[in-house]
């Protein structure tokens, strides 16, 4: 279709360079802006548009599968900027028509596993590897990390996000951003903000108090902005208290820029917002993915003066400043191949530290590789490396349990193996037919669980130990279903029951591996397993990580970034989350109002009340006497034991220096995490029982070895947001600093008096 706009677009790009046209360089940004036409400015702020793609303008620039581009202006030497997802690695298509090369990317562990490491240095390294890969594949900005709060376990995108706690979230995000950006590649910290459900995500209105907004939902962003200053931030789809996030001046300018000092570009999520003029006026510089009507509206408003030139120019300036930082601008021409082998090693290192050992009765683990293992569960043979949607990565391979264990020298029960080989081949054909070519895979069909009872009994005679892998995969666009995603299915329960009975009857042990993107029910079946390993979706080296944990060459040191409650019904948000008990998930754009107004009809669809306020996750369970959770926030076992002692808190310039001595009391080397919680006195404001304000991971400690762990707690970090004064206030009184192993532990305490 050759629309008028297409002609305009083509003209903008084909305007030849004239004598005297300034060429963008450091120091002449303002001059370039002065030389730009209104059309060029609006083009720069309106993502890569379909017309430009059709005209072939981006064929050489944008790798297939990259999420978007920022338009170039050749006349002024302004390069295109290429954007690609996402949180678990670069998402581009691995094949290109007529090109024999492949462009696979490393599939890193999902966000929830990255944060389970509690190791910011390691996360930085993962960021470096992702940044290298983005650079090698000509990507200028990685659309990651995703840091929305795990408010409810059934949010379909929790896997991309880090934690229920904003402090852990912010620290991990800052490390990731600093790692990626050390490679000259930008990041886009997303989705800003309060985007905690997928159901009706384009139009849902999150209704919450200012205190919850500041302390829980913005805090992670605040920490990451202040400690890492990302190149970009992605504004979210939803409304916040009736105002669209991407059109909120208060959110994007007053808080983000004026209060926190953000200097970069704000870009909208793909298709977010209704009013482009309101977006740019609010400080949402760039609107993605770029549509004719958006460009039109901006040009019209700029010409009529309803979009102030000052606002337009400010946004253009930010984009140009970012362009100057890119490899593309600097003329670096990458080889379009990357060191997958080196990055796979980083991927495994992160996964190794992100595995959370939930249960290990009578030292069921580790298991020597001289033991014969019976491997059950379809997920053992169709292992899940990561989630779907924009959080997906096209990886060159996935090491499953079978391959991982075999590579580590374990012998597998051949009869069991043979049975699954046949069954999985049939199931693969069925699933491939259903899944087709759809790369997005919101509802990827997977093999149906099977309970081969006779085989189980037989293998209990010959094998030494049994392992069952339970899998869950989901992603962007849908929230999870309580029946089919949170609870284990009847077949899965029967499989656990049957294997447990048969192996226990022979005095042999069962380990259940949870290969999941988000929390599932554990209480109805955990008594039947001797050990439980939560390996999340550990990326493409998953099977190798699991084998290392199983044979003990890696001692688990991951800790939960979210509470696992005893049942979904115990969650503080259970009444304030979309109806997930039904079979019929809501389409994510289902109730979008075309005029952009909020439709206040259906609770949890049109609007969601954040009635739990600041009491999300452990803040709720700890404060309201609901401590009987399945596994508390911060929990994680090791094959060794650690003691914490000799805690000191020294008042220093700007805060406190907390020191704790950690000693490995057991028989094998390992790492542990010291979690520093602060219990504030009840002053004018109600306070959670405790809040995480610091953490540190030890180096690998040999048996008997100690390390002094040090954490700095800035003064301002213990303040609470007081709505009556619209500011952060530290109440006078006695604060307790607790060095703990998890959110319910009280290993060491120190009292601090603050007047
Ligand atoms: C997602 C973003 C993603 C973008 C580009 C949107 O649907 O919400 O997280 O970065 O698509 O793929």
Query: How far does residue 233's CA lie from ligand 1's centre (Å)?
Result: 12
- Alpha carbons 286 and 280: distance in angstroms, whole number: 7
Per mean pLDDT, which of 96-100, 430-434, 513-517 is the most reliable? Answer: 513-517
- Ligand 1: residues with CB < 6 A are 67, 85-86, 143, 190, 269-270, 390, 476
* Protein residue with its CA nearest to atom 5 in ligand 1: 67
* CA 289 to ligand 1: nearest atom: 5
> What's the pLDDT band for 437 if we cut at 50, 70, 90?
low
pLDDT digits (tens, 9 = 90+) for 267-281: 999 999 999 999 999
Tokens 């004064």 belong to which residue? 725
Of the candidates 561, 166, 126, which has an alpha carbon nearest to the alpha carbon of residue 350?
126
**47, 269, 393: which to mutate for ligand 1, most atoms within 8 A of CB?**
269
* CA 191 to ligand 1: nearest atom: 9
pLDDT at 580 (0 to 100): 60
> What's the pLDDT band for 648 if we cut at 50, 70, 90?
very high
Cross-strand pairs, 554: none
When pLDDT is averaged across residues 371-381 and rounded to a whole number, the result is 97
> What's the pLDDT band for 444 if we cut at 50, 70, 90?
confident
- End-to-end CA distance of the chain: give it in Å, rounded: 70
> What's the pLDDT band for 13 if we cut at 50, 70, 90?
low
Note the pTM of the prediction, 2 decimals.
0.97
Query: How far does residue 476's CA lie from ligand 1's centre (Å)?
Result: 8
pLDDT digits (tens, 9 = 90+) for 235-285: 999 999 999 999 999 999 999 999 999 999 999 999 999 999 999 999 999
- Alpha carbons 743 and 162: distance in angstroms, whole number: 17
When pLDDT is averaged across residues 358-365 and rounded to a whole number, the result is 98
- Alpha carbons 425 and 402: distance in angstroms, whole number: 15
* CA 144 to ligand 1: nearest atom: 10
The answer to whether residue 46 scores a pLDDT higher than 70 is yes
The answer to whether residue 88 scores a pLDDT higher than 70 is yes
Retrieve residue 420's tokens. Answer: 């699954």
% residues pLDDT > 70 (the chain): 94
pLDDT at 9 (0 to 100): 43
Retrieve residue 106's tokens. Answer: 């490393």
pLDDT at 589 (0 to 100): 56
pLDDT at 626 (0 to 100): 95
When pLDDT is averaged across residues 554-570 and rounded to a whole number, the result is 97
Of the candidates 560, 561, 698, 527, which has an alpha carbon nearest to the alpha carbon of residue 637?
560
**47, 48, 66, 85: which to mutate for ligand 1, most atoms within 8 A of CB?**
85
pLDDT at 14 (0 to 100): 52
When pLDDT is averaged across residues 116-139 and rounded to a whole number, the result is 98
The answer to whether residue 1 scores a pLDDT higher than 90 is no
Q: Which of 27-31, 57-61, 455-459 has the lowest mean pLDDT?
A: 57-61
Of the candidates 280, 284, 197, 281, which has an alpha carbon nearest to the alpha carbon of residue 232?
284
CA distances from 623 to 45, 509, 615, 733 (A): 46, 37, 8, 19
% residues pLDDT > 90 (the chain): 87
Residue 456 and residue 420 in contact, taking contact as beta carbons nearer than 8 Å: no
Query: How far does residue 469's CA lie from ligand 1's centre (Å)?
Result: 30
**145, 267, 476, 479: which to mutate for ligand 1, most atoms within 8 A of CB?**
476
> What's the pLDDT band for 583 if we cut at 50, 70, 90?
low
Query: How far does residue 270's CA lie from ligand 1's centre (Å)?
Result: 6
> What's the pLDDT band for 316 if we cut at 50, 70, 90?
very high
> What's the pLDDT band for 10 if we cut at 50, 70, 90?
very low
Sequence-distant (6+) residues with CB within 8 A of 370 are none
The answer to whether residue 177 scores a pLDDT higher than 50 is yes
When pLDDT is averaged across residues 434-448 and rounded to a whole number, the result is 75
> What's the pLDDT band for 54 if we cut at 50, 70, 90?
low
DSSP per-residue letters across 548-576: HHHHTSS------SS-B-S-GGGSTTTTS
Query: How far does residue 439's CA lie from ligand 1's centre (Å)?
Result: 14
pLDDT digits (tens, 9 = 90+) for 586-603: 555 567 777 888 888 889
- Alpha carbons 524 and 514: distance in angstroms, whole number: 14
- Alpha carbons 380 and 413: distance in angstroms, whole number: 13
Per mean pLDDT, which of 63-67, 291-295, 685-689 is the most reliable? Answer: 685-689
Tokens 């993107």 belong to which residue? 517
**What is the average pLDDT score of the chain?**
94
Query: How far does residue 538's CA lie from ligand 1's centre (Å)?
Result: 21
**Burial code of 109-144, b = ≥16 C-beta within 10 A, e = fewer?**
bbbbbbbbbbbbebbbbbbbbbbbbbbbbbbbbbbb
Residue 620 and residue 691 in contact, taking contact as beta carbons nearer than 8 Å: no
The answer to whether residue 481 scores a pLDDT higher than 50 is yes
Torsion of the alpha carbons at 422, 424, 426 and 432, rounded to the nearest 10: -150
- Alpha carbons 402 and 398: distance in angstroms, whole number: 11
> What's the pLDDT band for 7 if we cut at 50, 70, 90?
very low
Half-sphere exposure of 722 (CA within 13 A, CB side): 12
pLDDT at 597 (0 to 100): 85
CA distances from 556 to 116, 358, 672 (A): 11, 10, 9
């Amino acid at each position: 279709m050759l629309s008028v706009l297409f002609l305009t677009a083509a003209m903008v790009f084909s305007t030849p360079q004239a004598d005297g046209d300034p060429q963008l360089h450091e120091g002449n940004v303002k001059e370039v802006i002065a030389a730009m036409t209104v059309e060029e400015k609006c083009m720069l702020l309106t993502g890569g548009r379909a017309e430009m793609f059709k005209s072939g303008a981006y064929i050489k620039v944008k790798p297939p599968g990259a999420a978007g581009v920022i338009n170039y202006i050749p006349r002024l030497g302004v390069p295109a900027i290429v954007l690609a997802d996402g949180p678990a690695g670069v998402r581009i298509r691995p094949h290109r028509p007529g090109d024999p090369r492949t462009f696979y990317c490393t599939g890193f562990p999902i966000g929830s596993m990255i944060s389970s490491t509690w190791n910011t240095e390691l996360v930085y390294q993962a960021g470096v590897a992702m940044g290298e890969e983005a650079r090698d594949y000509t990507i200028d900005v990685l659309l990651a990390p995703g840091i929305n709060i795990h408010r409810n376990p059934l949010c379909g995108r929790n896997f991309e996000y880090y934690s229920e706690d904003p402090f852990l979230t912010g620290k991990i995000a800052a490390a990731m951003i600093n790692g990626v950006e050390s490679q000259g590649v930008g990041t886009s910290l997303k989705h800003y903000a309060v985007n905690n459900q997928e159901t009706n995500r384009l139009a849902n209105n999150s209704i919450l108090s200012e205190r919850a907004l500041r302390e829980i939902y913005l805090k992670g962003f605040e920490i990451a902005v202040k400690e890492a200053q990302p190149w970009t931030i992605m504004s979210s789809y939803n409304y916040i208290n009736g105002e669209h996030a991407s059109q909120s001046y208060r959110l994007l300018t007053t808080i983000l820029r004026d209060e926190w000092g953000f200097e970069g570009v704000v870009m909208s999520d793909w298709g977010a917002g209704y009013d482009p003029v309101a977006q740019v006026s609010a400080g949402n510089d760039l609107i993605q993915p770029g549509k004719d009507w958006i460009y039109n509206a901006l040009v019209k408003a700029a010409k009529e003066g309803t979009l102030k030139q000052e606002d337009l120019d400010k946004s253009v300036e930010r984009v140009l400043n970012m362009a100057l930082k890119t490899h593309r601008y600097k003329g670096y021409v990458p080889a379009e191949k990357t060191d997958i082998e080196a990055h796979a090693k980083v991927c495994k290192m992160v996964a190794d530290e992100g595995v959370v050992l939930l249960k290990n009765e009578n030292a069921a683990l580790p298991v020597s590789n001289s033991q014969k293992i019976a491997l059950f569960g379809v997920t053992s043979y169709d292992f899940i490396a990561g989630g779907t949607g924009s959080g997906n990565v096209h990886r060159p391979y996935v090491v499953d349990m079978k391959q991982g264990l075999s590579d580590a020298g374990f012998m597998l029960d051949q009869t069991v193996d043979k049975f699954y080989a046949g069954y999985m081949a049939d199931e693969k054909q069925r699933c491939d037919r259903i899944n087709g070519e759809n790369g997005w895979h919101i509802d990827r069909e997977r093999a149906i669980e099977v309970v081969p009872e006779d085989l189980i009994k037989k293998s209990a005679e010959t094998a030494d130990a049994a392992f069952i892998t339970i899998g869950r995969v989901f992603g962007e666009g849908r929230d999870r279903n309580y029946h089919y995603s949170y609870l284990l299915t009847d077949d899965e329960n029967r499989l656990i029951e049957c294997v447990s009975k048969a192996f226990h009857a022979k005095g042999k042990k069962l380990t259940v591996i949870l290969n999941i993107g988000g929390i599932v029910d554990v209480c109805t079946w955990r008594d039947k397993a001797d050990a439980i390993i939560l390996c999340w979706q550990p990326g493409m080296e998953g099977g190798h990580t699991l084998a290392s944990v199983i044979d003990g060459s890696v001692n688990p040191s991951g800790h939960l970034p979210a509470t696992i409650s005893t049942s979904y019904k115990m969650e503080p948000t259970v009444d304030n989350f979309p109806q997930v008990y039904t079979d019929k998930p809501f389409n994510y754009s289902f109730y979008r109002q075309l005029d952009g107004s909020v439709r206040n009809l259906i609770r949890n669809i049109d609007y969601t009340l954040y009635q739990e306020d600041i009491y999300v996750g452990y803040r709720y369970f700890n404060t309201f006497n609901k401590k009987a959770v399945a596994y508390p926030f911060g929990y994680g076992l090791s094959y060794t034991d650690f003691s914490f002692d000799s805690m000191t808190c020294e008042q220093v310039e700007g805060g406190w220096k907390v020191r704790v001595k950690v000693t490995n009391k057991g028989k094998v080397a390992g790492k542990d995490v010291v979690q520093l919680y602060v219990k504030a006195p009840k002053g004018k404001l109600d306070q959670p029982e405790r809040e995480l304000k610091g953490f540190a991971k030890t180096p690998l400690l040999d048996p008997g070895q100690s390390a002094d762990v040090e954490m700095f707690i800035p003064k301002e970090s213990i303040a609470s947001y007081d709505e009556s004064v619209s500011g952060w206030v530290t109440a006078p009184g006695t604060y307790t600093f607790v060095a703990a192993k998890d959110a319910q532990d009280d290993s060491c305490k120190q009292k601090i008096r603050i007047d």
